[in-house]
Amino acid sequence: MTQELMAQLGPLAPLAGLWEGDKGDDTAPSDDRGTEHNRFRERITFDPMGPVRNHEQTLYGLRYATTVWRIGESDPFHEEVGYWLWDAQAKQVMRCFIVPRGVTVLAGGTVEPGAKSFSLVAEHGSGTYGICSNQFLDREFRTVRYELHVTVLNDSTFRYEEDSQLLMPGRPDVFHHRDQNTLVRVPR
């Protein structure tokens, strides 16, 4: 990756590389629609890319892939692929990803170029930063809001906290499906 490309990534630049963490904590709906807690380990790759030109808009970003395993298990229980994008002119960070359960999310937020911490949001039904699911998930586990907070602690460590807010039939309240982890940079 060139220094010129890295300079265009704004607040995403510190994330470029390969990361692993085994301090993950997942609070999710259980099979009986109750609550389950999972400890997990995860591996994320962020590969710089760009420029992407949408007429007057120019984006730079990170192509990424995440794989997550419950502690002590060899088969992954979660994967996702997508892009983290930086629009320097509008000071917008975006995360667009798909989960192979049939969910797509485009979350975004206003972020200063040198920020070491930022938050992104997506809302069900939004025409800009939104969430789309397959028919089953929309009926049984509708994601109505997605929130992500990222903090770059130093050159070799970052932390995230995310909250996928779900509506589930028979539950009067919103279920907060929360995931968090601290990851460290590893050599490729």
3-state secondary structure the chain: CCHHHHHCCHHHHHHCEEEEEEEEEEEEECCCCCEEEEEEEEEEEEEEEEEEEECCEEEEEEEEEEEEEECCCCCEEEEEEEEEEEECCCCEEEEEEEECCCEEEEEEEECCCCCCEEEEEEEECCCCCEEEECHHHHHHCEEEEEEEEEEEEECCEEEEEEEEEEECCCCCCCEEEEEEEEEEEECC
- Where along the chain do its domains lie? 3-181
pLDDT tens-digit profile of 55-92?
Answer: 999 999 999 999 999 999 999 999 999 999 999 999 99
Confidence at residue 3, expressed as pLDDT on a 0 to 100 scale:
87
Q: Is the pLDDT of residue 97 over 60?
A: yes
pLDDT tens-digit profile of 119-178?
Answer: 999 999 999 999 999 999 999 999 999 999 999 999 999 999 999 999 999 999 999 999
The type of residue at 178 is R
Alpha-carbon distance of 40 to 22, in angstroms, equals: 6
Confidence at residue 1, expressed as pLDDT on a 0 to 100 scale:
55
Which of the four CATH numbers 2.60.120.200, 2.40.128.20, 1.10.3720.10, 2.40.50.100 does domain 3-181 have?
2.40.128.20
Alpha-carbon distance of 53 to 173, in angstroms, equals: 42
Alpha-carbon distance of 169 to 82, in angstroms, equals: 30
- What are residue 98's phi and psi, to 5 degrees? -130, 140
Q: Is the pLDDT of residue 104 over 70?
A: yes
